[in-house]
Structure 1
């Protein structure tokens, strides 16, 4: 489909739809993914057997405190499990999920299509590459032109021979500082965005300055900042609302996408920062609304471990609808503003230009 025909449409794994048909939308999730590249071997001998253990009630507490040290926890590959989890989201009124898994996260177009058919949930699939530590070895020898062509093909023709097309560029993984392959990918992303009119979702590096530096890089390379989503803002800026306001003033979408996640410490250069609670995230959102940035706010959960799922004691994909909305109302965020954040903003962001 040409860019002209895609204009104002949203591209799902089952075809294009109108933005008005999306309904409530989670803009940053993972339904099927594998993050085993993050695995860290337990250092205590008595715990090493837990690395290959299946998650069960007896070891759940340890795994939640050592999420990257259990291979089973790092694997979301069961389609039936994803279908079951999504039914809770649909029952609460959910309509669309953006799966931002791409190359490096075991993207599965056909699996996502089967899940979409089974649940009736619109699923939008990501394109591009995740962080450098997950990059395939062959990426190092590819040119920026080759990466651009590959990304554009995933959007306009489909991934491989599946015919299933991506509907967002992301989540594009960035380290801090950027790795050489990540710089090439970011350059290709800016070019692919100009060619296709697609939106971009960025996973910033572990630094408070990484988000603004990436925005500046994309802008310098011709990217459309008004159609760029900065993920994990709460996990990079914390409660430093001045940093977030500076980012918002550049015109990008501000995504608070860790709702329901635990407050484990986050290691930043020369700093150990605690993740925000849901209440604190909402406080930041209220501040952005009061400063005039309502139309740039997106929210999600970023489910990517088994322990995030309901069946393993997590909050699942429906936590925002069952709990967070109530907390938003308690902080004087109106139903109209909630509607804008959950429906209008995602629809505008995901439309091709």
Structure 2
């Protein structure tokens, strides 16, 4: 069985993915982010078209269950723009949900994730998104990661992890890989630029996981200048085949954020100048194709 990448429009071969924004949001809604909701189909389409104009071919959409993913909107966006969209199942931190929502699904999380990964229902997901807490894993994180591991073993789907402030990466690896036996090559750790510690990043890379760094965002004040130091350290340490880059803009371009196009118009040229064209090809094309490709059952 050959590996494919599951997009909202169907499965594609890894070589069809193209230049990939490995972590972003087209639709998003949370009580913790008032005024920052992404709910405009037109704004998302404009952002995607700009991304495509710079050569972008795919976006991994990390908005999980219950946060306004807009499955129908994702389908329409991919059809209208030609950009591949990988949708997420999974669950974010507890405070992003009303207690009644969590109470209604906590006893069936694994089945919920599996259903969205394997059936042609309202959403065709291609990854599982879960989240840690700041410098630790709380009970909610452990519960959702355990469900994600069960869903992984049923589907082989990759698990993408929101690291709060870029922290608790080793704790996540200890739980998912150590206790729950998920292969490290099936795990993507996100937001590592928010904790710009090259030594810690090397430790994570040596465990075998993928490392996702995020571009600029008014919402989370990502630090581009330190991110390049971290990327350089990883490449020099021989881990260029584990690095991913995403926009994670979280605020619509229409509201003042740089938008997805910035990832390719500004960040990609600088990476090429500092790290060379081979590193650019790995970070934007080769690594995402491996990270999101799965031998689906």
User: TM-score, normalization: structure 2?
Assistant: 0.92
User: How many correspondences in the alignment?
Assistant: 292
Is 1:120 aligned with 2:82? yes
Name 1:304's counterpart in structure 2: 250
RMSD over aligned Cα atoms: 1.9
Q: Is the Cα–Cα contact under 8 Å of residues 139 and 181 in structure 1 kept in the other structure?
A: no
Name 1:16's counterpart in structure 2: 11
Name 2:203's counterpart in structure 1: 246
Partner SS state of residue 125, structure 2: coil
Q: Is the Cα–Cα contact under 8 Å of residues 149 and 176 in structure 2 kept in the other structure?
A: yes
Name 2:144's counterpart in structure 1: 185
Distance in 2, matches of 1:319 and 1:22, equals: 19
1:83/1:141 Cα in 2 relative to 1: closer, same or farther (>3 Å)?
A: closer
272, 279, 287: which one pairs with 1:329? 272
Distance in 1, matches of 2:45 and 2:139, equals: 38
Q: 1:111-154, CA deviations, whole angstroms, 9 ceiling, x for partnerless residues?
A: 1001111111111100110111123524346556x211111110
Deviation at 1:103, TM superposition (A): 1.6
| 1:94-105 alignment, distance < 5 Å | 94-105=56-67
Q: Is the Cα–Cα contact under 8 Å of residues 249 and 257 in structure 2 kept in the other structure?
A: no
Q: 1:188-242, CA deviations, whole angstroms, 9 ceiling, x for partnerless residues?
A: 111111111111100023473x11101111011122211100000111x22x211
138, 144, 160: which one pairs with 1:201? 160
Q: 1:259-292, CA deviations, whole angstroms, 9 ceiling, x for partnerless residues?
A: 1235977xxxxxxxxx52x232122111101101
Q: Is the Cα–Cα contact under 8 Å of residues 193 and 224 in structure 1 kept in the other structure?
A: no
Deviation at 1:16, TM superposition (A): 0.7
Higher-Rg member (1/2) = 1
Q: 1:292-337, CA deviations, whole angstroms, 9 ceiling, x for partnerless residues?
A: 101100001102123xx1x333211011211112211332x11121
Which ranges of 4 or more aligned residues in structure 1 deviate by more than 6 Å?
none
Distance in 2, matches of 1:321 and 1:337, equals: 14
1:263/1:124 Cα in 2 relative to 1: closer, same or farther (>3 Å)?
A: closer
Structure 1 unmatched ranges of 5 or more: 40-70, 266-274
Deviation at 1:346, TM superposition (A): 0.3
227, 239, 261: which one pairs with 2:217? 261
Is 1:232 aligned with 2:191? yes
User: TM-score, normalization: structure 1?
Assistant: 0.78
Q: Is the Cα–Cα contact under 8 Å of residues 104 and 131 in structure 1 kept in the other structure?
A: no
Name 2:225's counterpart in structure 1: 279
Distance in 2, matches of 1:207 and 1:340, equals: 22
